[in-house]
Amino acid sequence: MSCPTCLPIIFTKNPTPTPEEKRNLILNNPGFGKVFTDHMLMLHYNKEKNWHNATINAYGPIALDPGVCVFHYGQEIFEGLKAYKTKDGRTLLFRPEANAKRFANSAKRMAMQPLPESLFLQAIYEFIKVEEPWIPDPSVGSLYLRPFMIANSAYLGVKPSTDYLFMIIACPVGSYFSKGADAVTVWISEFYTRAASGGTGEAKCGGNYAASLIAQQQATANNCDQLVFLDAAEHKWIEEMGGMNIFFVFDDGTLLTPPLNGTILPGITRDCIITIAKDKGLAVRQERYSANQWIKDIKSNHIKEVFACGTAAVVTPIGYVKNQQGNYTINKGQVGTITQEMRETLI
Which residues form the interface with ligand PLP (CB under 6 A)? 80, 204, 240, 243-245, 265, 267-270, 310-311
Judged by beta carbon, residue 128 or residue 130, the one nearer ligand PLP is 128
Q: Is 178 helix (H, G, I), strand (E, B) or coil?
A: coil
- Residue closer to ligand PLP by CB (options 56, 107) is 107
Contacts of 281 (CB under 8 A, 6+ apart): none
Cβ-based nearer residue to ligand PLP, 38 or 117 = 117
- Cβ closest to ligand PLP, residue 9 vs residue 186: 186
The two beta strands, 284-286 and 255-257, are: parallel
Shortest spacing between CB 32 and ligand PLP, in angstroms: 14
Give the chain's radius of gyration (CA, Å). Answer: 21
Q: How far apart are CA 232 and CA 117, in angstroms?
A: 32
Q: How far is the CB of 142 from ligand PLP (least distance, A)?
A: 13
Those residues whose C-beta lies under 8 Å from the C-beta of residue 107, and which sit 6 or more positions away, are 77, 113, 114, 115, 149
CA distance 211 to 336: 32
Residue 245 CB, nearest distance to ligand PLP (Å)?
5
The residue (of 152 and 263) whose beta carbon lies closer to ligand PLP is 263
CB of 271 to ligand PLP, least distance (A): 8
CB of 241 to ligand PLP, least distance (A): 8
> Is the Cβ of residue 146 or residue 235 nearer to ligand PLP in the bound state?
146
Judge whether 333 and 184 are in contact, CB under 8 Å.
no
Which of 178, 179, 170 minimizes the C-alpha distance to 23? 170
Nearest distance from residue 81's CB to ligand PLP, in Å?
8
